[in-house]
Structure 1
Amino acid sequence: MEPLSEKQIRTSFVNCTKGEAARLKLPLGFAELPWEELDFLGWVDPGAPLRAHLVLPRTDGPLGITLRAPATKPSSAMKSSLCQICLTGHASSGVSLLAAPLAGVRGRQGNTVGVYVCADLACSLYLRGKRQPKLRVVRYEEDLTVEERVARATDNLDAFVAKVTGG
């Protein structure tokens, strides 16, 4: 992913108001992000821990989506969960259900779509082996290359984004 400026990020959001986009906090360590290892930028808002944000590269400019986490997260270290984007297995506390308001009128009416995703939104780093789940869970061996796993995750994320944007 090519590095993005703060302005590019804030103007990319399609499912929140301009005021909400202006108030969101950028990820901690924004200046030191490993852009070359990211397929998308994802972070939990440091100023509002029940909010998360995704910014995806697109040919016509970045596309941002804001998400909400439930106020309570019942989870158990004894159970495991799978991220629907990168298919990384975590203890269930390592995966969060995030809901995105739909873009446009449908979102203003309160309609949302959800996805179970790595709680830290670091799918790109898990795919490349740069980060490991906190607790070991059963890991299924795949014969896919890193590039093939990245392509699958990108397809999964694109399918979610299509639901949010109506495209």
Structure 2
Amino acid sequence: MTPLTEQQLRASLVNATRSERQRMIVPDLASMTAADWDRLDYLGWRDRKQPLAAYVVMTLDDAPDAEPVGILLRATERTGPRRAAMCAWCEDVVETRDVQLYVARRGGAAGRKGDTIGTLICGDFRCSRNVRRRPTLAEAGRDDDGLREAIVERRVAGLRQRSRAFLDEVRRTA
């Protein structure tokens, strides 16, 4: 992922009002290295001052000059014990305890009418790290580094496809 600025993050939100963009608490971008950005398929974070607000920003095109597109998400309040669930984006079978339901208001007129869409996502937005995790022997079927690399490549491609499809669905106004 290409490094982004605070201005790009604020401008990217397709389902947020002007006041929501202004209230957004941006993560510490200065502490992120080029290597950090290279390992991200999307940038996701929780708002420190609004515990249920979260943001996801990604580029829909792999071109270096592609414009970022972002969405404002609302986490559901947790009640009762945590249950294991699979993230709909990374589909990781190991990290299943911190998966949470996030809901996004659709963009445009549909969102202004209250139309929303939800999905299960890793609560701390670790999907990029999860898909790059070394596959276990059970997942790979045999001890073959080439096979494991192919599995990681498939996981990364799947994460990108599923997260982008959700973002496209949020942007869809009809």
Q: Write the distance in 2 (CA, Å) between the matches of 1:73 and 1:24.
A: 25
Backbone CA RMSD of aligned residues: 2.2
**Is the Cα–Cα contact under 8 Å of residues 5 and 29 in structure 2 kept in the other structure?**
no
How does the TM-score come out when normalised to structure 2? 0.81
Question: What aligned pairs does 1:6-45 form with structure 2 within 5 A after superposition?
Answer: 6-27=6-27, 29-33=28-32, 34-45=36-47
Q: Which has the larger Rg?
A: 2
Question: What aligned pairs does 1:43-122 form with structure 2 within 5 A after superposition?
Answer: 43-59=45-61, 60-76=66-82, 79-89=83-93, 90-92=95-97, 94-122=98-126
Which AA in structure 1 matches 2:88? Q
- Partner SS, residue 115 of structure 1: strand
Structure 1 residues 87, 31: CA separation in 2 closer, same or farther (over 3 Å shift)?
A: same
**Is the Cα–Cα contact under 8 Å of residues 131 and 152 in structure 2 kept in the other structure?**
yes
More helix by share: 2
Structure 1 residues 20, 155: CA separation in 2 closer, same or farther (over 3 Å shift)?
A: same
For residues 57-101 of structure 1, the C-alpha deviation after alignment (integer angstroms, 9 at most, x for no partner) is 13440001000011234333xx42100000013344x00000000
Runs of at least 5 residues in structure 2 that lack an aligned partner in the other structure: 141-146
Q: Write the distance in 2 (CA, Å) between the matches of 1:108 and 1:128.
A: 37
Q: Write the distance in 1 (CA, Å) between the matches of 2:154 and 2:96.
A: 24
For residues 27-80 of structure 1, the C-alpha deviation after alignment (integer angstroms, 9 at most, x for no partner) is 2x432231111011001111111011000113440001000011234333xx42
How does the TM-score come out when normalised to structure 1? 0.84
Off by >6 Å, runs of 4+ in structure 1: none
**Is the Cα–Cα contact under 8 Å of residues 44 and 53 in structure 1 kept in the other structure?**
yes
Runs of at least 5 residues in structure 1 that lack an aligned partner in the other structure: 131-138
The alignment-based identity, stated in percent, is: 36
Number of residue equivalences = 156
